[in-house]
Amino acid sequence: MLQVSVLKDHTAAVLAGLAKRNYSTAEADVQAILGLDQRRKELQTAHDQAQAEANELARQIGGLMKAGNKAEAETLKARTAELKQSTKAHAEELGEVEKELQQTLYKLPNLPHSSVPAGRSAEDNEVVREVGTKPELPATAKPHWELIEQYDIIDFALGNKIAGAGFPVYKGQGARLQRALINFFLDEARAAGYTEIQPPILVNEASGYGTGQLPDKEGQMYHATADDLYLIPTAEVPITNLYRDEIIAPAQLPIRNTGYTPCFRREAGSWGAHVRGLNRLHQFDKVEIVQITQPEHSYAALDDMVTHIESLLQKLELPYRVLRLCGGDMGFTSALTYDLEVWSAAQQRWLEVSSASNFETYQANRLKLRSRTEGGKTQLLHTLNGSALALPRIVAALLENNQTPEGIPLPEVLHSYCGFKQIG
């Protein structure tokens, strides 16, 4: 959530940033927020003045009653009653204004970093670098959805039977490959200095608001209405919310956590060949890395996260590229996002397997996540997260890129984790 002080003191820069995001009602929303903030201040001042006057009159009434001046005391009591009604009215309107101000602030996305390119869609994203050689497959090469049937390692029909479309059943070597990848990613994260967390996979509404999934992505989250809990779309949500309403000592920074969870996304409106097989699921496994840093260190931390994710793809021997997302393709809460995509040789296209983002103070302001400066004041921290990695498209690329008539050999780094060297 953007800070009102930033909107007030840097209005032109805010409007320019929102324009880079193609946010069409930026000027009207910003002016509405500034107007609501001004009204909030006026109401708070009027409330405080009336309360102070009432307190002073109460002191005077006590003295008048002791002096036997009952008539004047009754006059002041009448004025106190008026002030009581006034403060009550101010408090009620103040609550309404503060709620409207908060909801309007929730509508504004984060401001993009200066390095974010302008653009409206994925076609406008900037390719930062491309690493590795794309494998050349014969004309008889199969896409992963045919390979998983051939080797009987993932069953979409069974998943559809027990849950619905987008909930696959992994079995045999498919299930073992899933577990191998999860353990490999977690071990690599721990070796890089991340502390492993096993968080809940259901969160309350406050957690959804804290990291920005609510109200922006409410329609994409599974909601257990009886308990008002949400199935997580990513481990970022519970892991970052561990620090909601906390003041972190500088000596504890940076905080570096990792966690494996299943992830749940309704993906409403997704269909077509580009989401076939493992390309788009309602439930999938992912290892997440999360950092909380002081503001001056956050972009170095983001570069470090991208380097870590790249190291995983290199060890998996997958060709990949790094993209800097344009203003129109970035997530709602992000200030700068790098997407990492692997090459799918059978599908002849790039598949996104990770996003690494710096949210600057946007989440921290919602979370009230702060640290103390040397002068004793509090400052908002910066939060970051990245997928390291999401499994489905990694599995798709491993199957497609490595297929041979004799089976599907796996990269050497996975042999000890899987207990086998190839599928089939």
Active-site annotation holder among 334, 344, 354, 355: 355
Using N-to-C axis directions, what is the helix angle for 298-315 and 173-191, rounded to 10°? Answer: 140
| Catalytic annotation, pick one of 244, 280, 321, 324 | 280
Quick check: is 265 catalytic? yes
DSSP state of 83: H
CB of 285 within 8 A of CB of 391? yes
Catalytic residue among 265, 288, 310, 371: 265
Q: Measured over all CA atoms, what is the biggest interatomic distance in the chain, rounded to whole angstroms?
A: 107
- Write the DSSP symbol of residue 411: P
**Set 93, 98, 317, 352: catalytic member:** 352
Q: Which of 21, 256, 366, 393 is catalytic?
A: 393
Q: What does the DSSP assignment read for 223-288?
A: EETTTTEEE-SSTHHHHHHTTTT-EE-GGGPSEEEEEEEEEE---TT--SGGGTGGGS-SEEEEEE
User: Cβ distance 331 to 354 under 8 Å?
Assistant: no
352 is catalytic: yes
CA-to-CA distance for 117 and 121, rounded, in angstroms? 11
* Annotated catalytic residue 120: no
What does the alpha-carbon distance between residue 341 and residue 128 come to, in Å, rounded to a whole number? 12
**What six digits make up the tokens of 223?**
């909601």
Q: Active-site residue numbers?
A: 265, 280, 352, 355, 393
